[in-house]
Amino acid sequence: MLLQIHEPGQTPMPHAGDNLAVGIDLGTTNSLVAISRDGKPEVLRDPRGRSLIPSIIAYKTDGAVAVGDDARLVLLDEPERVISSIKRLMGRGTDDVKRLAGSLPHELAPGRSGEMVKLVIGDRVVSPVEVSAEILRELRHRGEGALGQSVTRAVVTVPAYFDDAARTATKDAARLAGLEVLRLVNEPTAAALAYGLDKGAEGTFAVYDLGGGTFDVSILRLEKGVFQVLATGGDAALGGDDFDHAIAEHFLAQSPGAAPSAAEVKRALFSARLAKECLSTQDSGEWWIERDGRRSAHPLDRATLDRLLGPLVERTIAICGEVLHDARLAVEDLAGVVLVGGSTRVPLVQRRVAEFFARPPLSDIDPDEVVALGAALQAEALTRGSDTLLLDVTPLSLGIETLGGLVEKIIPRNTAIPVAKAQEFTTYQDGQDAMVVHVVQGEREMVDQNRSLARFTLAGIPPMTAGAARVRVEFAVDADGLLTVSAREQTTGREQRVEVRPTYGLPPEDMERMLRESMKHARDDLARRLLTEARVEGERALLALEGALRKDSQLLSAPERSTIETAVARLRRSVQGEDRDDIMQAITALDGACQDFAQRRMDHGVASALKGLTIDRVERDMAGGRG
C-alpha cells in the first residue's frame, strides 16, 4: 500500500472526502461525469484521456454487460444484443410507446396497459431504469478511478421537459447504480450555470440545448450570482437520433427490398451517425449499409443533408419563438445564446440559430461537456456551499379536478421551484363526508384534456351542509421538480398526503402538444369552462331547492309551487343545452320564483327556534351572550 506524503501544514482533514459529490450528464448519445473543486469544474477522463462514455449497452451471450465503446464493438456483430438511446423511454408506459414501436430499433416485451415499458435485448427482458443504471454505474466507476476514492453522491441532469415519472425513473436508476441523487438539475440550467460562472457573465441568455434525444430551450437571467429560469420549453422526442433516422431512411430508401430488420436498422443508424458527424466538417462522402445480406454504398453531400434535416431544425426554431413569447422578451433583449449538446455541431443548426437570434451563438465551452460541468458546480454548491442561487421552473401547470370536470390550476407553468402553494375547497352536497382529490398536469381547462397524475380520497370530513367544510389542498414541488400533494380538513385536522409517483410518465412530446393546444384552443376552452361552471351552478341551485322542498314544502301554496316547478323545468332544460346565457337566465328566474319561499323559510326557522321562550328569557340569554 502506497503512503500518501504531504507538505507540512497541507495534510487533509480527516474524512475530507466525505463531502465529495460529482456531476453527471446522463445523455441520450453520450454521458459524462465531472468534479468541481473551489469553483473550478473539470470532466473526469479514462486512462486514455477520453471524457465521453457512449450511452450504449450490450448484454453479451456470456452474461456480461458492456457499456460505452466496448458495447459499440458488439453492435457490429450482434446488434440485437445492443441498446442505445434508452433515455427516450425513461418514465414511459406500454401505451405510450405503442405508436413508436415501428420506429424504435428495439423489440418491445409484451405488457399490460399501464405497465412500465420493457425491452427484449437478446435473451433478456430489461426496463429503461435497469439499462440507465448500467450507464450510471459505469460513470460511477469512471469517477472512482479518476479520483481514487468511493463515489456515492451525485447531481444528475435531466431534460427540462422530463415529466414527474421520467424524473422519478432517473432517480431510481441512480439508486440501482449505488448513487444518492442530491438534486436533479435541468440540462439548460446546468449549462448556464457553467457558462455564467466560468465567464462571469451577467444578463439574460437563451440556452439552446440539442442533444441526442431531446431538445430544450430556456431563458435565464444571470445576475449577481442568481441564476433564474424565466421560461422553458422544448420537445423531449427531438434530437440527434431523429437526424440519424432521417439519414438512415434516406439510405434505406435507396436500397429497396423487404422491410428492414431491427438489426439492419441499427446498422443503418450507425452509418447515418457517422455521415452526420463527418459532414459537419466536410462537404460530401460515401457510407455503407447492409440490406438483405448485401452491402451497398450511398453518397451524401452537405446540401442533401440540410434538406433532410431542415424540417427537424425548424421545429426547434419555432419552439425558441414560443419560449421567448412566454418570457415576454424579444430577441434584442438577450445578451447572448449558448449552444449545448453534440447535435449543435451540425452546421445547419448553427446557421439557423444565428439567423433567428440575430447573433453568432456562444460555443466556446465544449457543448458536449458544459452540462456535466454545470452539474459538478451544483454538486459542489450542495456539499461545500456556494455564493450562487439556482432558481429553476416547473414546465407544465399543476392543478386538481373540480366539479364538472374543470381544472383548477394551483401551480402555473414556469413557476420557480422549489415552491408550495395551497388553496381551499369545500363540499358540494349536504352531509358529504369524503372528497376525491384528482391531481392533473397540463394547460387546458377540462380534466379530459390534461394528464392525470394521481388520485386519492380524503375521508372523515364531518357531515355538514354543502359549502361549510373547509379543505385545504397544498401542492409542493421540490428542487428536483417532483410533486407532493396533501389535503387537510381544517375543522378536524384530518389529513391525507401522497407523493406523486406515476407508474409511467407523460409522453414527453405531449408536453409541447399541450402547450400548443392550450394557446390554439384558449378561446374555445374558456367558453367551455364558463358553460360548465354555469351548469354546475344550475345543478347546485336545483339540489339546494330539492332539500328545501323536502323539509318545508308545506309553506308553499299550490300556485306558488306551480310557479317554482315551471322555473325548475326550465332550468333543467337549460343545463342540458349549450347556451350559457340561457342557463344563467334560468337560474335568475328560479331565484325570483323562490324569493318569497326563502323568506318564509327563514321566518319559520326563527319562529321555531323561539317557540316556547318568553321575552324575558330571550333578553336574559342575549345579555348573557354579551357578557
The residues annotated with a catalytic role in the active site are 25, 87, 187, 209
In the block, which residue shows the cell 479518476? Answer: 146
How are the residues of the chain apportioned to helix, strand and coil, as percentages rounded to the nearest 5? 45, 25, 30
CA gap 413, 256 in Å, rounded: 47
**Burial environment of residue 558 by CB neighbours within 10 A (0 to 12, 13 to 18, 19 or more):** exposed
Nearest alpha-carbon partner for 163 in 521, 567, 453, 373: 453
Residues 6+ apart with CB under 8 A from 573: 586
CA gap 36, 143 in Å, rounded: 12
- Tell how far CA 352 is from the center of its chain: 27
CA gap 17, 35 in Å, rounded: 12
How many CB atoms neighbour CB 383 within 10 A?
16
User: Residue 257 has which C-alpha cell?
Assistant: 427490398
User: How many CA atoms does the CB half-sphere of 217 hold within 13 Å?
Assistant: 25
How far apart are the two ends of the chain, measured CA to CA in Å? 86
Q: What are phi and psi of 531, to 5 degrees?
A: -65, -45
Amino acid in position 536: V
> Which residues, listed in sequence order, are joined to residue 451 by a DSSP beta bridge?
441
CA gap 58, 68 in Å, rounded: 9
Radius of gyration from C-alpha coordinates of the chain: 31
Contact 30, 87 (CB under 8 A): no
Alpha-carbon torsion 238, 240, 241, 242, what sign? positive
Contact 136, 179 (CB under 8 A): yes
Q: Give CA separation, 302 vs 52, 210, 281, in Å.
A: 26, 20, 10
- Continuous H helices in 327-369: 347-357
